[in-house]
Amino acid sequence: MTSMSRARVARRIAAGAAYGGGGIGLAGAAAVGLLVAEAQLARRRVGNGTTPHVPNADGLYGAAYTVPGEPALRLTMLGDSTAAGQGVRRAGQAPGALLASGVAAIAERPVGLSTVAVPGACSDDLDRQVTLALADPSRVPDICVIMVGANDVTHRMPPTRSVRHLSSAVRRLRTAGAEVVVGTCPDLGTIEPVRQPLRWLARRASRQLAAAQTIGAVEQGGRTVSLGDLLGPEFAANPRELFGPDSYHPSAEGYATAAMAVLPTVCAALGLWPAEEERPDAARREGFLPVARAAAEAASEAGTEVTAAMPTGPRGAWALLKRRRRRGLPEAEPAPTPPSPASPASPTSQQG
C-alpha cells in the first residue's frame, strides 16, 4: 500500500470518528476475525494471566533538583499495559519512571509521576482515566503520555470508535491545560507467537489504526510518536532481547528503547528544547505535510513525531513531521519518593 493510499484510509477512519461514522474495516472483517483468534491464542500461549504484575512507579523523581517555592513538574501516564509497565519487575524500569527521571535530568526540576493506565485497557477506558487524571483541578498534569491501541485491535473495536475516544481524551486534557503526547498503536506484527500470514495482517491493522490515531490526536492539539515495532528496528531484529519473558510485553530493555524515543517529544511539548531544534531538518527528511500524509508516514517509521503546524486551510490541516534524535536516559535506576495519600490510586488491573 502506498503512502497516499495509507493516508486516505487513515483520513476515512479519522473522519468517521469525528462525524459519527460506523466501523470501517482495518484489514477486512474476516481477516480481523482470524487475527483476533490468533492474538487470543498467542496471549494464552505467553501466559498473560488475569493478575499481571505491574510495578508501582508513582512518586517523585529527581528530588535532588528541588528548589524551595518551585513546584515539581507533573507527568501522568494513561493507556494500557504498555503505559503501565507490565512485563518488568522493578518500578524504575517502567516507562513512566524512565520518562520522569529523563525529564527531571533535562529540566533540572523534580517530576511527580502518576499512573492511571491499566493493563487490558482499550481506548474506551480513556474517559475514566482522564477523569482520574483531572480529579484535582489544582494539580492538573503538565504533561500526559497516552499509550493505547493494541487491545482495540485484538478486541475488534471499530477503529472509528477507537479514534473517537482517543480524540475526546486529548481534547479534555488539552482544554484543562495539559500537554499531551500519544504513543500510537504498536505493531502487533512483532509479537513472536503470532504466525504468518496473520503477522502481516496484524502489522497492517496496527499501522492503519496508528495513522488514524495520529490524525485524531494532532487535530485536538496533541503530539504523537509512532510506537511502530515499539520504537525501533531493535524489536524486529532482537525480539528475544527486547520482549519480556512472556514474548508479548516489552522487557526492561524494550521499555528503555521506547522511552528514549518518546522523551524528546515530551521535552519538546514542555518547551525544554532550544527553538532551533523545533525547525524541520531537511537532512533528516523532516518537513510540513498534510496531516493525513504525515500520519501515514509516521505509522510506517517507528519513533517519528507528528505535531500540528498550521491552521486548517483549503486542503485540510497540516502537520510537522520530525525524526528526533533519541536521548539517553539516566544510568542509575531511580528510587521514587512514595506518592502522597492524596494522589489518585491506580485502578485494579485488567487482563490484557
Question: Which positions are catalytic?
Answer: 81, 246, 249
Q: Is the dihedral of CA 244, 245, 246, 247 positive or negative?
A: positive
Contacts of 331 (CB under 8 A, 6+ apart): none
Residues recorded for the chain: 352
Cβ proximity of 317 and 291 under 8 Å: yes
Beta bridge partners of 59: 113
Grid cell of 331 as nine digits: 544510568
Torsion of CA 33, 237, 93, 346, to 10 degrees: -10
With CA atoms as reference, report the closest residue to 27 among 122, 213, 123, 153: 153
Give the pairing type, strands 305-313 and 316-322.
Answer: antiparallel
Give the pairing type, strands 223-225 and 179-183.
Answer: parallel
Q: From CA 311, how far away is CA 330, in angstroms rounded? A: 38
Q: From CA 220, how far away is CA 301, in angstroms rounded? A: 22
